[in-house]
A and B are shown apart, each in its own frame.
Chain A
Amino acid sequence: MKNSSRFRQLLIGSTYTWMVVLALIPYLILFIASFLLPGDDQLVQSGLSFSNYQHLISPAVFSMARSSILLAGVAALLCLLVGYPFAYILAQSSAKVQPLMLLLVMIPFWTNSLIRTYALVMMLKANGVINQVLMALGLIEMPLQLMYTQTAVFIGLVYTLLPFMILPLYAALKAVDPRLVEAGRDLGANWLNTFFRITVPLTTPGIIAGCMLVFLPALGMFYVADVLGGARSMLLGNYIRDQFLIYRNIPMGAAASVTMTVAMGLMLLLYFFASKRLNREAMQ
């Protein structure tokens, strides 16, 4: 028995080491750098300063934050609209089909999202697959302008992030006690009524989890907007990348990154408490 406990310690220990070396320490360095100033001779210069954070309070940064939040919010909403019916059908289908459908949701996920974004370019461009099919079918005469539009950006975000929405929704829908739905039906409620008054409220934790899982990564996925949207507007992700790579202002980029992480952390905390409360209410 002693051996297996040592194995367990090793396993847990290596996970913690991994987290500390590859996540915690780099993040602490970033955090410290955010209070320094860019130097002439070195990449950073010593001395404590809050000026990086003060610089973040500017109309340009607010405008970028607004665009980022709007983009991520709409993407989460679209994912919900597409993902909920899918998860619903998935949860209703036979136990044999379910693993297969889940597998189909997961497979694209194994490919790097940047590569999938470039693959979408091949679909959406003027002489791309979609336009060629539509033209061959005689549905359109001129190619549609799909690339470099807001629509293309949302297609890209929804396509990339949909599994994050489907999986928690599926889990929540599976957990709904079918007897409750049946009871509703027996008491004379039609399908729409049972759906909105029983299924949806019972799956609220799944809806919130899915929205968070889509919204938070979408905030940082500036490259989807760059590649599919034509990079005409600037998002927070662009701003952070440019501070590091173009202006060599590592402290400024670090400050922006830390602020964004803290904001995301707060949202997660909020989600944590909200779901806890929901669970408690459900128990009662």
Chain B
Amino acid sequence: MDHPKRSRRRLAIAIVLVFAVVSVFVGKLVDIQIVRADELDKQSYDKRAIAVTTYAPRGSITDSNGTVLADSVTRYDITASPRNINTDRAATTVQGFADKIAAISKQDPSVVFTALTQHPDADYSLVSSAVTTAQMRAIVKLDLPGIYYVSHPVRTYPDGSVAGNLVGFVGTDGPQAGIENMYNSCLASTDGTTSYEQGADGVQIPGSSVTKKAAVAGGTIKLTIDADLQWFAQQAIAEQGTAIGAQSATAVILEVKTGKILADADWPSVDPNDVSATPAANRQALSFSAQYEPGSVFKGMSAAMLIDTGIGSPTMEATVPWSWKTPEGGRVNDAGEHAVERLTLTGVLQQSSNVGISMMGIKVPEKTRYDYMKAFGLGQKSAVNFQGEASGSIQPLPWDDQTKYNVLYGQGVSATALQVAGIYQTLGNNGVRLPLTLVDSCTKPDGTVTDTPSTSGTQVIASSTAKTVVNMLESVVDSGELASVTKIPGYRVAGKSGTAEVASHGVYTNDRIVSFVGLAPATDPQYEVLVTYTKPTTMKTSAAAAPTFKKIMTQVLTKYRVPPSTTPSTYPATTW
């Protein structure tokens, strides 16, 4: 009160100062809360929020019983942040780190040591890749500061090379072969993303999880294959293939009434777990990709043409020398020299006489034969449309003077093993050719089923013709040259052998492709087995393939509990 003026000035200054300070704060507040609010909000969210890629597994491939042939499992990459490796807490040296990790991941300790120390200031270094869950847990248990792990899915094939030729494999760049590649759209999964906010201790803040995109698992492909049967067939052809020194072999087992491929064995076959161990040529399904001149197994089809057109009959007669000069001046020979024989068409099949089938089959016009061959599925890919499948080839009309005889016994024409199997499926199924199926269905995780194959067949020959031909083919197994190695006690079996010459550079060589195909039970065929060996060295006749046929067919009949035939084999007369 003594100095009112001074006092008032002081007050004024104080007020001005207070206002100045307050306005600075207000200005800053407005700037933070309103002007830059969005930007700052985002920055802070980004610090708290963790975006995570969520993985869904690639779909599995199973056999017809659900046995897993291909599956996705999780593997872990062990990574390090060399900057953060703290040896104090772990009370050991970096070398000690490396030794411990290497012992678990079965690596060279020096490699691990290099990974940990090469770039001491780096934040990331890959220590070991694709370790198993057990190894990852053991490494985590070591509790080494600065060591982390990243999970990622990998493909595994529990049955190894069983059906490896069909299943295919997935490489680092994605699916590369077989079903894995063909049905990738069904099997592939879609990665999702999710984000959540975390506190300082890394615990998720409740209610903060936001799924931006859900991960979608891949669908399951179910094959028509039976894994056990597939293994048996692979084992059987591998054993015999090794014994006769063959280059490769295939075995096909079909369910005649449905066209389902129950087994499709190739030897050698790839183990999808270790693709590099198999030469590139053997990484595919030979039964689909390899086309060859099938040889005498074609005679069954030629006989069917003769009977179906009404030109021939099971007892059609011919006088058959072992070597015959054709009217055009060419020559047709049988496999071995024999006396002149009076064979019926049935006898021609039983003896597998090239001369006999040429003499008779030539009576069917070329155009008709060509159309029949097309109708039997030759010269076109099967309904499976397998990766790398060959379509085989029929020479275009008109045929030259030799080809028109050769095609009757399966030379001068090429087919895949599956095409040959298709011919006998048609004969066994009352003349109705069904589309062959390898993939039964694709089932998506939500239960929708897609990729179910077509089952509509086409009538190629009359039902009666088919039955007659199958009956005639019983003569081969019952009393033909290979009867002793093909007859299955208790069952009536129809079959046909093939010993085809392999052409190279336009001439037939000494190499052979031997095969045997058969149907059982012959009275009402249920199953078909085709066995083929390419270029055997120690045994170059179909006698090499016949025992494997018998072994596999016996297994099939036992496995599927086919009742024995109640009557012995009877068939039309073979001679006259």
Partners in one complex: no
* Chain B residues within CB distance 8 Å of chain A: none
* Chain A residues within CB distance 8 Å of chain B: none
